[in-house]
Chains A and B, each alone.
Chain A
Amino acid sequence: MDIRSKVIEIIADHAIVEPSDLSDESTLESLGIDSLGLVESIFAIEEAFNIQIPFNANQPNESPFDISSVATIVRGIEKLIQEQA
């Protein structure tokens, strides 16, 4: 499974929606994922790709990992996989 599909699967799972309901532009907010859901999703992504995501829930916007949409999350993961390989 490619990174994008896997990320969509994880986020859809936490938002309790079908993966087909997500697009690159979907935001976690629009999917109804709250702050607890966010840290849970980040944990699930870390587990799935065996990476460390730099994310501090106190400063979500200052994190080098951009969580503003599905597309930015996928790009962030691709970058981390390359760096941590």
Chain B
Amino acid sequence: MKRVVITGAGTINSIGQDFSQTINSLREGRCGISALKFKDVERLSIKIGGQIHNFEPDRHFNRQQLSLYDRYTQLTLIAADEAITQSGLTFNGELAASTGVVLGTAGGGVSTSDDNYRAVYEEGKNRVHPFVVPKLMNNAAASHLSMKFNLKGPTFTVSSACASSNHAMAQAFQIVRSAQSPVMVTGGSESMMCFGGIKAWEGLRVMSKDACRPFSLNRNGMVQGEGAAIFVFEELEHAKRRGANIFCEVKGFAMSSDAADIVNPSKHGAARAISQALKDAQVNLEDVGYINAHGTGTAANDKTECAAVADVFGHHADKIMISSTKSMHGHIIGGTGAVELIACILALKDGVISPTIGYVEHDPECALDVVPNEARDAKVKLAISNAFAFGGLNAVLVLQKV
């Protein structure tokens, strides 16, 4: 089995237009949640989200590209550009033939669907643009990324709601670990920032109207975010040989299904994913110093997640720092695990633990060290990143300092 490290990272989200801005925002506990801006927002009862403002697609892409790139694809390509540039890799010959792209997204081109349903149903048009299908499909971003960087290996999209990115990165990890390819590009992207996208979430009655306050007793729901994060996963020796900059090691992962309820989370399913991931990584649980929580800010998730962590870690749970950066960038659904992996990198590489902001009041059912409101300096050897999706699908990654 090969060892796998991260040698490139890129992102765009509501707290940063690139990797270093995002790192700075995580350190500062900056909130990217603001008033939503798009057509018909006044007809929504939820009017806040982690929307990326000051982003001008036509400064990055030409007209032909824009006719094919939904917003989620645009965000993917911007993040990928940064990650691949940073990795210093160019893809030719054998490396191009083996390197692929595994991305996570839950909704794919949600805005494209929304815009075109509006055109045919509301505006009564009988004609839509010919590229609606290639623009909205869930693999559009993975395919465009593959085309742009000449990546010809295994390329596909994983869709498991809020765990999509973690499932995707687990697949990419397996491909590198099992020596199928020395390099894979992976991560996730999501943008449901349109009337229909938010209206659908509103229907579930799980959204907060004012803020995302994970683990705080007064929490009242999740807040939607948008963004993408892309990483270069590389075999350790391959990275060393070329003197690559290494962010951290991807040590192991596990996936599980609750097989219980389509929306309510299960402590047992979450706990099984965490403990299996630690087993897969062959590490001691006492070495885990940080957990990037799923931490959605809903009543159900946060207490279930804390109970699962307490079950797995026992007494050591009291020594672990666990924070939810969704309090800053919102819940990026299928892209969330990818953006949150950046908080794990910050913890392992720079020794800074991202805070859970908006924290007001202690909840006895979430009695862990949730790093309230301010970032903390701490040396951490191992970090884990949790994702527990609707549908009861769980995916947990284990990362190690290099």
A40, A42, A46, A47: the one contacting B131 at CB < 8 Å is A40
A36 x B127 contact (CB < 8 A): no
Task: Determine the main DSSP class of A at the interface with B.
Answer: helix
Q: Which residues of A contact B127 (CB under 8 A)?
A: 43, 46-47
Q: Which residues of B contact A3 (CB under 8 A)?
A: none
Q: Is B67 an interface residue (CB 8 A)?
A: yes
Q: Is A39 an interface residue (CB 8 A)?
A: yes
5 pairs across A/B with beta carbons < 8 Å? A40-B129, A40-B131, A42-B130, A43-B127, A46-B127
Interface residues on B, range: under 10
Q: Which residues of A contact B67 (CB under 8 A)?
A: 40
- Alpha-carbon distance A40/B68, docked complex (angstroms): 11
Q: Give per-residue flags for A41-69: 1 if the beta carbon is below 8 A from chain B beta carbons, else 0.
A: 01100110000000000000000000000
Interface residues on A, range: under 10
- Alpha-carbon distance A46/B128, docked complex (angstroms): 10
- Alpha-carbon distance A80/B361, docked complex (angstroms): 69
**Closest residue of B by beta carbon distance from A16:** B64
Q: Which residues of A contact B129 (CB under 8 A)?
A: 40, 43
- B residues contacting A by CB (< 8 A) are 67, 127, 129-131
Q: Which of A39, A40, A46, A47 has the most chain B CB atoms inside 10 A of its CB?
A: A40
Task: Determine the main DSSP class of B at the interface with A.
Answer: loop
- Alpha-carbon distance A51/B118, docked complex (angstroms): 21
- Alpha-carbon distance A40/B127, docked complex (angstroms): 12
Q: Which residues of B contact A43 (CB under 8 A)?
A: 127, 129-130
Q: Which of A36, A39, A46, A47 has the most chain B CB atoms inside 10 A of its CB?
A: A36
Give the Cβ gap from A47 to chain B, nearest Cβ, in Å. 7
Q: Which residues of A contact B130 (CB under 8 A)?
A: 36, 39-40, 42-43
- Alpha-carbon distance A46/B130, docked complex (angstroms): 12
- Alpha-carbon distance A42/B131, docked complex (angstroms): 12
Q: Which of B67, B127, B130, B131 has the most chain A CB atoms inside 10 A of its CB?
A: B130
Give the Cβ gap from A74 to chain B, nearest Cβ, in Å. 20
Enumerate A4-46 residues with CB–CB distance to B below 8 Å: 36, 39-40, 42-43, 46
- Alpha-carbon distance A39/B131, docked complex (angstroms): 9
Give the Cβ gap from A9 to chain B, nearest Cβ, in Å. 15
- Alpha-carbon distance A43/B131, docked complex (angstroms): 10
- Alpha-carbon distance A43/B125, docked complex (angstroms): 13
